[in-house]
Amino acid sequence: MSINSTLRREGIEIINPLSTLEINKIASKIAEKLCSTFPEHNLNQSDLFISISRLNMYIAKMPNDMAVAKYFYKNDSIYFSENMDFDDLNTLAVHECIHFLQAVKDKRGKVTKLGLYNLQGKTSGMALNEAAVQYMASKANQNETDNVRYYNMNLTTESPDYYPLETAIIRQLAYFTGTYPLFHSVLYSNDVFKNTFIAKSNSKAYNIIESNLDLLMHYQEELVISMNNLDYCSENDASLNKIKNLSNRIEALKSIILKLTLEIQNTIIDNCFNKEFQYIKDQDSLNAFQSHLYNFKDLLIDTEGYNFYNEFYRNMMNKLEEKRELVKKYGVLTFFEESNKDLALFENPTYGIEFFKKLFNKLKLLFEEKIRVKNID
């Protein structure tokens, strides 16, 4: 499909290209924002400016008011809404420029990866990447965290108008990995974030979260289409039966989105905190875990009747008390993981000499018994 056909399908209509002066102004602002916000990633402001300034940029009619910018990796072009305020670049403008910077191409010029989004073979991670890029763009624009409500869910995010659920979830993931691995993988399209999160949980959890986020985005897009169709039908006196069916579908999609969002959150809580619990070895790590678990409540996506986190918290407090007693009794704990995933406790190093004395005496008795039997024979 040609670029023009793709643009028409997306509802984008080019008005005019931006001048070199206008492009340079945008490139300069975005390069400065990224370099000043993320100095730890060794970005070169001059190189960023040159790279972004080589993009094709256009003013265009966009399909809706929310879509103020769109990057097309197939022709390295960004399309800005005619309503865009270039003196105060929207986070979506930064968002789309990050997409351009993260694109990895093969020898034929085909994009193979965009940050956390793998476009080779069975594509995966599109929603995860969109959430991470928007989170990063919100940081670059110094957006404040906001408390919002979507689909009967209360949550906190720096991006209340664009991917609010996804950015709320990405903040939860970064709670365990830190933002450095996340932003590094967004910028350089590597597996640093993926491997870090797997180390903090497991590969199965990562794959579940990745695929469920893609599903979440799909259902949200379907919801927007259904709501637009309902508006059109209401304005054009469609049959009551059609309006009713669309209304039912909208409510069903909202329920699916709510359920899927909480399932992703529960996967994060269960796998990350259980993995972290395994590494508690002394009073300091015990206290740190307790604080880490408690403070997660500030990132919680909540809704009426949701009690997974509270129940998980209570169960963990009971386990912590058991581990606290072990710490009091043995001091620093050392663990190994059995095949059944139970953790077994070795003697504290302070008891090591006594342990080996007992072991040596047992081996000595066995050796003497073997000699005795041999002599009898």
pLDDT value of residue 149: 95
Which pTM value belongs to this model?
0.84
Mean pLDDT by runs of 10 across the 377 residues of the chain is 77 91 92 95 95 92 74 87 78 90 89 91 88 96 94 95 95 98 96 97 97 96 91 86 92 96 98 96 94 98 97 97 88 55 37 46 50 47
CA-to-CA distance for 377 and 373, rounded, in angstroms?
6
- Tokens 């047992």 belong to which residue? 362
| φ/ψ bin of 237: left (φ > 0), alpha (ψ from -120 to 50), beta (otherwise) | left
- Helices 283-295 and 240-277: crossing angle, nearest 10°? 170
C-alpha of 5 from chain center: 32
Q: Which of 41, 82, 76, 308 is nearest to 182 (CA)?
A: 41
> Which of 247-251's residues contact partners 24+ apart within 8 Å by CB, and which partners?
250/223, 250/226
Q: Which residues, 6 or more positions from 110, have their beta carbon under 8 angstroms from its beta carbon?
A: none
Which residues touch 338 (CB under 8 Å, ≥6 apart)? 344
Distance CA 128, CA 210 (A): 6
Please report the pLDDT score of residue 5 as a whole number: 80
Contact 331, 282 (CB under 8 A): yes
What's 350's DSSP letter?
G
- Cα 152 from Cα 259, distance rounded (Å): 11
Residue-level pLDDT at 347: 35
Residues 105 and 113 sit within 8 Å (Cβ to Cβ): no
